[in-house]
Structure formats: C-alpha cells, structure tokens
C-alpha cells in the first residue's frame, strides 16, 4: 500500500466529478491538491481527514513550499501526536476555492483556458466537503475513522457528519460554529471590501499581468488577524510598547509594536495567498448555517447520528465563542448523539487551537483512541 502512487506528500489529482454545487451548476474537472501521512491499513479503516481553516492548506504536517515553515498543525498531527501518523492514515486536502493547487479562482477555466477569476462559481462549505468526498472515493476510503478540524475546518468536519453520516465514525470540532454570526459576516465583509477597494483588484482579473491587489489583501488579513487574538493576549504580547524606538514619532509610521506586528502579518500573507480565494472562501463561510438546511432546527441535522462527537472551545475565543459550541452540543444532546464537550482556558483567543495546548492534545488523543476500540 505504501507504494501506492496516490499516497504521499504534495499530491494532486484531477477528478472528473462533476461536482454539483449548492449555488447551482457544477464544477468539472475538480482538481484537488492533498497530502497523506502514515499507512492505510488493509481494510482502510484507519483514515483520518484533517480539514484546514480559511487560509490553511494541505501542508498540515510537512514543510510549506512557499514559506519554508513547518506544517500548520504539527503540534496535533505526526508520529506519536494525538492524530498519530504511526497509527492513522492522515489525509489533508486543500479546499476547493483556495489557492494551493485545488480548483479555485486562480486555476484555469477549461472553457476559455484563462484563470477563472470572478467567473469561478460561488462555493459553500458543503461543496468543499463534497469535493473531499470525491477525493476519498478516489483513494478508495469508504469510511473515515475520524474527521477533525478547527475553525472553518470544524465547519467542514461537522458538515461531514450531516452530509455523509455513514462515512464518519468520529468527529472533532475545535473552536468552531454551526453558523456564521452577524459579527462574523461583518468582519469578513470588511476584508472583502478592502480587497475590492484596491485599484489593482480590477474585478478579480489581475492574474495576467501578475499584479495582485496585495495592499487590499494585506489590510483584510490585518483586520482578520485581530479577530484571531484576544484582547488580553494582545496586551500581554504588545501592550503599548513602541517598536524599535524610544519615543513617539508623531506620525503614521508603525510606532507601536502591535502595528508593526499586524503589518508584518499582512505583508507576509500576500506572498502565500490569493485575494480572490480570500473572497470566495470568506463568502462560503458567511453562507454557512447548518440549521438552515434542516428546517431551522439544528438538532434535526443530527437525527439518528451514530457518529461520536468531540467539541472543544476556548474561553478567550470571541470569534467562535463557547456559546456557539454549546449550541451544537445542545443540538447533539437533543438528537441523542454521543457528544463530548469541553471549554479550555487559554489566553490566545481563537488562535489557541493552533498553539501548544497539552489539555487539548490529551482530549483529542483519548477521544480518538477510544474510537479505535469500537
């Protein structure tokens, strides 16, 4: 099995689909860039799908080709880690709409052999999940031992349990929500407007002369980054400290460390992310409301579910606060599903799920191992 050409790092597949989309129409072909880690066992029962967040990618536990940095969740995924690649066959795929090799606005539209740009169809979280299901079909994996994700990854994970209840044994949903709140949508709209207000955006048709709206995208990232941190975390990290200077300059340079940090976050982000992808994916998240598809009652989404659920929230996460996780938990209780939930304490807001947190690791480890026996 380990010699299988479908498995390994930096893989890419072009699937014919077609993938029917919620916005109407369909996507074909569907290109999916993905990585696998570990060995698929003989009965293909040890597969764990890791779903990434808004600006994440398939490089969950390997070096990122653009930044040279470690994978984004090496604390959680790897040999001996809770998502143990010695034990599980781990898959992570770039979501469609993104820009790391899967079909998205920067890839080529077969109709005219030009980059899709704004002609790329509108996507939803469910569309992303259905594309992942196509990938699993291609990999001959019928049933996942577990699906796991944080933030938008959690939205995909929970969608997996409702779209393909028979294909998911366990689901881990971290720092996530079953819907986007008005506040969530509002912050995303700020980011999108920043991109569209950049004169270089040009209706999304900026690929030909390689002159992307990086100023707008950087501002979008800066605004979003604030929502990933907590007030206490920002204060602890930066306070009112000045950046490389002894006194205020009475100008608009980055006098404060927090300004310098945000600018850096914005500038480095544009090197690895496509502005149009940012538009499409934030929109998909805004459209997300799991209850909507089930008559407005979230519990109905989980009727008869045999999946085991584990939800984790963080007390300083104000982007997807504990109340949103608790709403899912109450719906799962109402549906009689097997659910575990814990709110963990961390100073670092929404980003906590990406950071070192021994308690989170212990819970995920125990939850996944308990699933092995079943």
Residues that bind other proteins (CB under 8 A): 308, 310, 326, 329-331, 333-334, 336, 338-345, 359, 362-363, 365-367, 369-371, 373
Q: Which is nearer to other proteins, 108 or 338 (CB)?
A: 338
Give the number of other CB atoms < 10 A from CB of residue 43: 8
Non-local (6+) Cβ contacts of 344 within 8 A are: 312, 313, 314, 315, 352, 357, 359, 360
Nearer to other proteins, 22 or 343 (CB): 343
Minimum gap (Å) between residue 303 Cβ and other proteins: 11
The nearer residue to other proteins, 142 or 338, going by C-beta atoms, is: 338
CB of 312 to other proteins, least distance (A): 9
Closest CA to 346 of 225, 233, 184: 233
Enzyme catalytic residues: 151, 317, 350
Packing angle of the helix pair 182-197, 275-286 (nearest 10 deg): 160
Q: Which residue in this structure is represented by tokens 């049933």?
A: 143
Give the pair of three-digit tokens for residue 294. Answer: 């089930």
For residue 310, the minimal CB distance to other proteins (Å) is 7
Biggest CA pair distance of the chain:
67
Query: What is the smallest separation between the CB atom of 196 and other proteins, expressed in angstroms?
Result: 41
In the complex, the smallest distance separating the C-beta of residue 353 from other proteins, rounded to whole angstroms, is 15
| Of 155 and 311, CB closest to other proteins | 311
Task: Tell the smallest beta-carbon distance from residue 59 to other proteins (Å).
Answer: 28
Among 10, 36, 16, residue whose Cα is nearest residue 144: 36
Closest CB to other proteins among residues 4, 359: 359
Instruction: Report the distance separating Cα 236 and Cα 239, nearest Å.
Output: 6
Separation between Cα atoms, residue 164 and residue 170, nearest integer Å: 12
Residue in 97, 118, 105 with CA at minimum distance from that of residue 202: 118
Read off the tokens for 336.
């009689």
Give whichever of 28 and 45 is closer to other proteins, judged by the CB atom: 45
The per-residue DSSP string of 40-109 comes to --TTS--EEEEE--TT--S-SSS--TTT-PPPTTTTTEETTSSEETTTSEEEEEPPTTSSSSSSSTTSEE
Element (H, E) at 327: helix 322-334
Q: Residue 18's beta-bridge partner residues?
A: none
């Amino acid at each position: 099995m380990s010699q299988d050409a479908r498995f390994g790092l930096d893989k890419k597949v072009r699937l014919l689909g077609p993938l029917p989309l919620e916005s109407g129409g369909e996507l074909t072909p569907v290109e999916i860039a993905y990585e696998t880690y570990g060995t698929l066992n003989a009965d293909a029962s040890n597969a764990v799908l890791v779903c990434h967040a808004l600006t994440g990618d398939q490089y969950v536990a390997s070096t990122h080709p653009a930044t040279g940095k470690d994978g984004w969740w090496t604390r959680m995924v790897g040999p001996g880690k809770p998502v143990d690649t010695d034990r599980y066959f781990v898959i992570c795929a770039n979501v469609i709409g993104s820009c790391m090799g899967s079909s998205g606005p920067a890839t080529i539209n077969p109709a005219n052999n030009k980059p899709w740009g704004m002609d790329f169809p509108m996507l939803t979280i469910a569309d992303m999940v259905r594309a992942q299901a196509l990938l699993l079909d291609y990999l001959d994996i019928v049933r996942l031992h577990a699906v796991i994700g944080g933030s938008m990854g959690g939205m995909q994970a929970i969608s997996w349990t409702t779209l393909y209840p028979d294909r998911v044994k366990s689901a881990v949903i971290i720092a996530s929500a079953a819907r986007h709140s008005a506040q969530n949508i509002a912050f995303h709209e700020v980011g999108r407007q920043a991109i569209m207000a950049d004169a270089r955006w040009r209706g999304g048709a900026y690929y030909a002369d390689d002159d992307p709206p990086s100023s707008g995208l950087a501002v979008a990232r800066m605004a979003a980054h604030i929502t990933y941190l907590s007030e206490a975390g920002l204060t602890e990290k930066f306070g009112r400290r000045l950046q490389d200077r002894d006194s205020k300059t009475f100008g608009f340079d980055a006098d404060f460390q927090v300004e310098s940090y945000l600018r850096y976050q914005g500038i480095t982000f544009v090197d690895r992310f496509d502005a149009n992808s940012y538009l499409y994916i934030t929109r998909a998240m805004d459209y997300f409301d799991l209850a909507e598809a089930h008559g407005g009652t979230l519990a109905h989404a989980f009727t008869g579910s045999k999946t085991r659920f584990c939800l984790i929230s963080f007390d300083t996460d104000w982007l997807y606060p504990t109340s949103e996780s608790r709403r899912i938990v109450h719906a799962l209780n109402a549906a009689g599903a097997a659910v575990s939930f814990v709110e963990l304490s961390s100073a670092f807001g929404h980003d906590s799920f990406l950071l070192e947190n021994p308690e989170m690791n212990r819970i995920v480890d125990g939850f996944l191992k308990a699933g092995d026996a079943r």
